[in-house]
Structure 1
């Protein structure tokens, strides 16, 4: 069983790495093409049907790029499609969601002080919310609101705020932020899978058949791509937030998430304006800084009040172990000075990663993390500042492995 725990930890790490790799590829190509599109210039002598062109230099070479709003007069011999980056990012992200939050639902997904449900019910709520997000967004995009991108985004923002609040009423703070990111990322990837690529395939099919493609398909695809561009930075923040409890584990976490969407839009507005050669709106950085300072303040007042602790069946098993009294004393002596509601270690104001280890229930519920971080590895305590001995680490390993057999 303990070998499986190590395998599962490495599986999580491997899938997380894959998710980062694919996300870099997707976000990189998305940012590049938006910048390219905004920087296109119409010049004399361009081929018929060309909307604009741009010269770029990179890596010692010059690139001459032309864009056709609908399609060129004939199909090129080789056509590169940008879609697998998006698909791989979403699939690896969902796999990571399943590995960490579904498989570890009792620890990472469910907060019984927020909503006392079983793991299957929590997982169904999770999956259903992702599908719900796409359906609502897609219907709004197909409504009359789609005639004005600004109005559409202003309508979408309250929906995102409502989802941010709703997730905090369903899951742990960490899972709430992760799900809001997954909610948004699902919209982005579905845009590629269900709208952008199918529309481009319609245009290609018409071109091959000798028909004149309808320009509406390109216009719709461009609009959805622009939405993805503005949503990207908030998604990155939400995916990274699980490492920072000051973001997800405070009372106003849903307000913080809402403000992050505004900051992301401000930053993208700056870059999109610059790339379109329409000026340098430096005010966007000032506004983003003010909002971030507001987020810092919201993360500290007031402190969240927690309810009565509950122990899972797995936690009860760890507490019943004959090794538990010694483990409890070890953890409280070596770890609890930082991992507590009021950390006693100088320079640490809030418990690292939101993990508290000052009660028996908390220690039992975090048995796997203690085993991996302080037993099988020497990651904790950092730099072994509390002088945990080799015998104490061996005790943590024995306690976990014997209990899990």
Structure 2
């Protein structure tokens, strides 16, 4: 595919995915907040079957919201459904996954240092992992385990950890992370499609038929909605994780991902409890402490330079040659790389002055973290990284 066309498709689909995702997450957060803030209604409302209500003010007006225990006696003329936010987020997400990691499998998904896959093998493994992950979840959530949230949660964490580890053994690090995001996102959209919407249609059908709705429908939708609540922050992290290689480039990246999933889910739990007026600041404090500990634990080790090596002089000309050979195909005014037609992040190495300008970034990404060049596409050697480290030490 022409790189310019690819960039426009990426922009349009990513923008649509972001907008629909905001709409979905916003609606999800609002209804969870709404449900958790309902108060016991006055007698006049309770007699009508209303189970809870609340008053709110927004945009210069007052709102009175009421929720029926099961359903109203008569179906209203206009009933608003919330489903397309979820469906369009999943559709745009899958299109973006396909464009970036399937059409561009040899660039973003396949890492020959991890597994020597063909494009079609990588695609089949990717799609297969989504089917397996979602299939396991659907089997578990349809059993009586759905009534035992802690046990089900522990089992799902074990499954997620196994999938995370397995994906990092066959894909590039960022490809593995994105497929875990695809699995979680598909589960969330599946909760809407397989659980929430059928339950809501059953409630509407019962009201229209003049029969009493089965409470089980509402409870089933509630369980799946709750699951979506706790996976929202983890999936948002995964969506932006490709910008932060210090997380996915660690040797235990699968474990790092699971730690972040737990931390972000705990943060969500803090806010859910606040909805009920329960202040549990220790949850938030523990999450912050855990994040700091994780950051320290996965911090890349600075390249050690011996006293003998410090005496070696590395010239600007040598560094210019290394940068031009290993970084110049992407980070140039006119990149020659077949994928990156514009210098990533606007970093351009045009002369020794521009190289010195980006020296801190070179040390962090090329010398210490070693996540650049991208997937070591230009095959930078350890000796060249050491040469960069010696030159950077000379600049101090």
Give the TM-score, by structure 1 length: 0.77
Of the three residues 333, 350, 359, the one matched with 1:345 is 359
Of the three residues 12, 27, 30, the one matched with 2:10 is 12
Cross-structure match for 1:41: 39
Residue 358 (structure 2) pairs with residue 361 (structure 1) = no
Structure 1 residues 139 and 359: CA distance shift in structure 2, 3 A = closer
Cross-structure match for 1:188: 188
Cross-structure match for 2:19: 21
Cross-structure match for 2:284: 285
Shift of 1:362: 4.4
Quote the Cα distance in structure 2 between the aligned partners of 1:43 and 1:103.
Answer: 55
Quote the Cα distance in structure 1 between the aligned partners of 2:184 and 2:351.
Answer: 36
Structure 1 residues 346 and 330: CA distance shift in structure 2, 3 A = closer
Aligned length: 338
Post-superposition Cα deviations, 1:176-217, rounded to whole Å, max 9, x if no partner, equal 111111111110001001111011111111211222111100
User: What secondary structure does 1:361 align onto?
Assistant: coil
Quote the Cα distance in structure 2 between the aligned partners of 1:358 and 1:150.
Answer: 39
Asked whether the equivalents of residues 55 and 65 of structure 1 are also in contact (C-alpha less than 8 Å), the reply is: yes
User: What secondary structure does 2:57 align onto?
Assistant: strand
List alignment gaps of at least 5 residues for structure 1. Answer: 304-324, 364-405
User: What secondary structure does 1:113 align onto?
Assistant: coil
Question: Structure 1 residue runs of 4+, over 6 Å off?
Answer: 335-338, 357-360
Structure 1 residues 360 and 103: CA distance shift in structure 2, 3 A = closer
Shift of 1:302: 6.5
Post-superposition Cα deviations, 1:216-243, rounded to whole Å, max 9, x if no partner, equal 0010001100000000000000110001
Structure 1 residues 80 and 116: CA distance shift in structure 2, 3 A = same
Quote the Cα distance in structure 1 between the aligned partners of 2:292 and 2:323.
Answer: 44
Cross-structure match for 1:103: 103
Shift of 1:41: 0.6
Post-superposition Cα deviations, 1:37-77, rounded to whole Å, max 9, x if no partner, equal 01111122214221101111111111111112321111011
Structure 1 residues 353 and 268: CA distance shift in structure 2, 3 A = farther
Quote the Cα distance in structure 2 between the aligned partners of 1:337 and 1:167.
Answer: 40
Quote the Cα distance in structure 1 between the aligned partners of 2:266 and 2:294.
Answer: 15
Asked whether the equivalents of residues 53 and 64 of structure 1 are also in contact (C-alpha less than 8 Å), the reply is: yes
Indicate the RMSD between aligned Cα atoms, in angstroms.
2.9
Asked whether the equivalents of residues 251 and 302 of structure 1 are also in contact (C-alpha less than 8 Å), the reply is: no
Asked whether the equivalents of residues 69 and 215 of structure 1 are also in contact (C-alpha less than 8 Å), the reply is: no
Give the TM-score, by structure 2 length: 0.79
Cross-structure match for 2:267: 267
User: What secondary structure does 2:365 align onto?
Assistant: coil
Structure 1 residues 360 and 65: CA distance shift in structure 2, 3 A = closer
Cross-structure match for 1:401: none
Asked whether the equivalents of residues 191 and 225 of structure 1 are also in contact (C-alpha less than 8 Å), the reply is: yes
Shift of 1:246: 0.3
List alignment gaps of at least 5 residues for structure 2. Answer: 303-321, 333-348, 381-396
Shift of 1:301: 5.1
